[in-house]
């Protein structure tokens, strides 16, 4: 244990950079995992609430009858202008004064079509869109295709960034641990040679520096968790994903300790022959 603290003193300034480097990668990971959870929630809600808004040219009853003959439809609702206005004001109450100035003719009768669950697929939705658009008396059909595409791109982008940061965090733990331990060992080579002459086992030669890498990893993790908790709590995000965050914190601790262990073991592979 005393040799571990001596090694920390030898590379004190490197210790600071090691902790900062690993901490920054972990903070990025914690923030991205919460952003990933948010993007997945949006993506799921978009798909759960997907529906067709069918705008009739004249009498909607004929269109409703034709829609009933199509496959893949779970429910059909007729929304008149009054109900459409009520729903809009319920969602956007701040626009009440503007709506009153525009009058009653702003909202049109619309037929709301809900697809069955197994039809909630991009290809099938496009097929249903083309079939509904071809019906007699249909003026326009909207189902939020751009929203679905944007939600998918957002989720996949954040997922890719998260996987990238996980890789960077692992590599940071390995490389930073490798070069920090390598530096400490090279400056303690004379002491290590003396221990070898006294017959100290290879494990006892290595374990102080392995412990050194574990200390760096754990301290970095503590800093990262502390800063991340402050940032996430400031935006009321931590409590929304409490169990997910606790799981990520635990897994990240295991990940960063294992990567640091791997880096330190690689650095100590040739400790007996390393030149000062």
Report how far residue 81's alpha carbon sits from residue 105's, in angstroms, rounded to the nearest whole number: 8
Question: What tens digit of pLDDT does each residue of 142-165 get?
Answer: 888 888 888 889 999 999 999 999
| Mean pLDDT on 208-214 | 83
Question: How do the domains of the chain map onto residue ranges?
Answer: 2-44+150-267, 51-143
Pairing of strands 110-115, 52-56: antiparallel
**Paired tokens of 212:** 């050194």
Dist. CA 41–CA 191, nearest whole Å: 57
Q: Measure the CA angle with vertex 225, ends 240 and 6; round to 5°.
A: 170
- pLDDT level of residue 180 (50, 70, 90 thresholds): confident
CB neighbour class for 27 (10 Å; exposed up to 12, middle 13-18, buried from 19): buried
Residues 8 and 187: beta-carbon distance below 8 Å:
no
Tally the residues of the chain: 276
Task: Write out pLDDT tens, residues 11-47.
Answer: 455 667 777 888 888 999 999 998 898 899 889 888 8
Q: How many helices (H) and strands (E) does the chain have?
A: 10, 4
pLDDT single digits (tens) 222-266: 989 999 888 887 777 767 777 888 888 999 999 999 998 998 888
Domain 51-143 architecture: 2-Layer Sandwich (3.30)
Type and span of the H or E element at 52: strand 52-56
């Amino acid at each position: 244990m005393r040799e571990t603290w001596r090694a920390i003193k030898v590379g004190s300034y490197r210790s600071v950079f090691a902790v900062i480097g690993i901490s920054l990668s972990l903070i990025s990971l914690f923030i991205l995992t919460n952003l990933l959870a948010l993007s997945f929630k949006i993506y799921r809600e978009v798909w759960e609430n997907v529906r067709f808004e069918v705008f009739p040219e004249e009498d909607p009853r004929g269109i409703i009858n034709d829609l009933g003959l199509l496959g893949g439809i779970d429910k059909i609702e007729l929304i008149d202008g009054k109900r459409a206005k009520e729903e809009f004001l319920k969602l956007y109450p701040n626009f009440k004064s503007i709506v009153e100035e525009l009058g009653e003719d702003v909202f049109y009768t619309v037929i709301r079509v809900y697809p069955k669950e197994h039809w909630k697929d991009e290809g099938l939705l496009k097929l249903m869109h083309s079939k509904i658009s071809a019906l007699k008396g249909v003026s326009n059909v909207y189902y939020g295709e751009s929203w679905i595409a944007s939600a998918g791109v957002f989720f996949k982008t954040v997922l890719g960034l998260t996987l990238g940061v996980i890789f960077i965090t692992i590599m940071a733990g390995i490389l930073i641990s490798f070069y920090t331990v390598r530096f400490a060992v090279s400056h303690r080579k004379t002491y290590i040679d003396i221990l070898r002459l006294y017959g100290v086992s290879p494990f006892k030669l290595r374990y102080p520096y392995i412990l050194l890498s574990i200390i760096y990893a754990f301290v970095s993790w503590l800093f990262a968790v502390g800063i991340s908790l402050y940032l996430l709590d400031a935006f009321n995000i931590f409590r929304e994903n409490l169990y997910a965050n606790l799981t990520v914190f635990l897994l990240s601790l295991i990940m960063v300790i294992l990567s640091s262990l791997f880096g330190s073991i690689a650095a100590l592979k040739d400790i007996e022959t390393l030149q000062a």
